[in-house]
Chain A
Amino acid sequence: MNDLAAAFSQAASLLLGFDEDLMEIIGLSLRVSFMAVGLAVLLGLPLGAAVALYRFPGRTVLGALLNAFMGLPPVVVGLVVYLMLSRAGPLGVLGLLFTPAAMILAQCLLVLPIVAALSAQIVADLSEEYDEQLRSLAAGPGQRLVTLLWDGRFSLMTAVLAGFGRAIAEVGAVMIVGGNIAHSTRVMTTAIALETSKGNLALALGLGLVLIAIALGVNLAALALRDAARPRHG
């Protein structure tokens, strides 16, 4: 296929040319997704750990919900956030629709269940493994949660990266709540959708390759960080 070959040269020339519009779009993609994942981590790690460690009414249901919501359709999340943030909606006075903040909120809602559900599983496994030690230290519930999250930090990074993958790749939610406005809310995925609809398939695919390269870069950076931080053996 001609378009496939053309896509690779498009991607290369886009990246090497440091195209100003492209840099802006990449920058916004990263800012939005980093913020969304950051918020989701702040809320999701304690939430997941609490589901794993504490007994409270509705715990099983909450755990099941988190698991199910890992597969939330982005378009549905986008619609819900749109209806909340629309001027006709309950949070309309904030005037956040069609801004990066709206996109962050939507992506955060998509990522939160992933981070929470995966960290619940990781913390539950750790808790079993270290149960005796924690008992012997007479660790309180709060202490147990903090200790296990800290101990599991390297495994939890996978949960965070899974969340980041979800955020940076989704198009349905940011398209609706961001509006794909040029120089304002256009990100990589909505730009790809736009170029596809213009029939510029090679350019669209080229942008897709750039997106994949960026996701790969972020993952490699995270792994390098982990290896640097991980205590050496022997």
Chain B
Amino acid sequence: MVMRRSFLAGIILSAAIALPSSAAERDIVIASTTSTENSGLFGAILPIFEAASGIRVKVVAVGTGQAIKLARNGDADVLFVHHRTSEEKFVAEGFGVKRFGVMYNDFVLVGPKADPAGVRAMTDAPAALAKIAAAKAVFASRGDDSGTHKKERGLWRAAQVDAQAASGQWYRETGSGMGATLNTAAGLGAYALADRGTWIGFANKGDLEIMVEGDKRLFNPYGVILVNPAKHKHIKAADGQAFIDWLVSSAGQKAIADYKLGGLQLFFPNAKKAGS
């Protein structure tokens, strides 16, 4: 068994060596959400950081639930997600060093132009969801334990609707990312909750439109956390922290504010000033 394992490791290693690798340069892995990657934010701000620091940032973009799992296993150096409660739990359990607020955007409730549930321009998100449930209008949920999904479940609770009970009927859980869920919603003519960044960047809107926005319960803050090197020795703490420091610095905050898509700002920096 030992022989076989080392044989296998040998094969993998030789394969790794045979490929031109970039192991010589400094790099970190960050586990983040599809919303930051799909919206194009990372594509815009990471080159600025990389040029300034010489540290390459490798982004693994998955749902918040999976991102946290990756970070817990020590498979990423930095966690950059958007579900405050989960982030604080991650730090409290000792997996993360400290949470830094970085930026926010908001969620929007989108739906088909025909608006069968009649929720257009409502300002109370849970009330809008209650109307959708009452009308049994089709709703496409992420259903993947992502930050957006967690937020959506919180809104259903606030609306006092057990949407889960209607799963498979008017409540459709796609079990996939934001973009895939929006593709599904566009195809079904369904309502869906989306983060504004992904929504603006999304190219296949079909006849979906924003129905409800501006409710302060739709606020969507992003936090960044260094994975605790005390838990996982190989964590690149110095380079990871350098990235976090840059994100909350005035240069990083400006890069985030400067990112626009179709003239619209997608994320709003809100890091606390250094020293506070």
- The yes or no verdict on A and B being binding partners is yes
Judge whether A152 is part of the interface by a CB distance below 8 angstroms: no
Scoring A residues 76 to 99 as 1 if CB is less than 8 Å from chain B, else 0, what string do you get? Answer: 000000000011110110111111
Q: Which residue of A lies closest to B34 (CB)?
A: A197
User: B60–A179 contact, CB under 8 A?
Assistant: yes
Tier of interface size on chain B = 35 or more
Judge whether B182 is part of the interface by a CB distance below 8 angstroms: yes
Out of A88, A91, A98, A199, name the residue touching B9 (CB < 8 Å): A91
Q: Would you give the shortest CB distance from B33 to chain A, in whole angstroms?
A: 12
Residues of B within 8 A of A182 (CB): 43, 58-59
Residues of A within 8 A of B180 (CB): 196-197
Q: Which of A87-116 contact B (CB under 8 A)?
A: 87-89, 91-92, 94-102, 104-105
User: B203–A100 contact, CB under 8 A?
Assistant: no
Out of B34, B43, B203, B205, name the residue touching A200 (CB < 8 Å): B203
Task: Give the number of chain A interface residues (Cβ < 8 Å).
Answer: 32
Residues of A within 8 A of B43 (CB): 182
Judge whether B144 is part of the interface by a CB distance below 8 angstroms: no
Contacts A87-B232, A179-B60, A182-B59: A199 and B29 contacting too (C-beta < 8 A)?
no
Q: Which residue of B lies closest to A182 (CB)?
A: B59
User: B75–A101 contact, CB under 8 A?
Assistant: no
Residues of A within 8 A of B271 (CB): none
Judge whether B3 is part of the interface by a CB distance below 8 angstroms: no
Contacts A97-B75, A198-B38: A35 and B60 contacting too (C-beta < 8 A)?
no
Q: Which of B11-40 contact A (CB under 8 A)?
A: 11-13, 15-16, 18-19, 21-22, 29, 34, 37-38
Q: Would you give the shortest CB distance from A117 to chain B, in whole angstroms?
A: 21
Contacts A199-B183, A199-B204: A101 and B59 contacting too (C-beta < 8 A)?
no
User: A94–B13 contact, CB under 8 A?
Assistant: yes
Residue with the greatest number of chain B CB neighbours at <10 A, chosen from A35, A197, A201: A197
Contacts A101-B19, A181-B59: A196 and B74 contacting too (C-beta < 8 A)?
no
Q: Would you give the shortest CB distance from B60 to chain A, in whole angstroms?
A: 4
Q: Which 4 A-B pairs have the closest CB atoms?
A: A197-B179, A199-B204, A87-B74, A101-B16
Residue contacts A-B, CB under 8 angstroms, 19 given: A35-B18, A87-B74, A87-B75, A87-B232, A87-B234, A98-B58, A100-B15, A100-B19, A101-B19, A179-B29, A181-B59, A197-B34, A197-B176, A197-B179, A197-B183, A199-B179, A199-B182, A199-B203, A200-B203
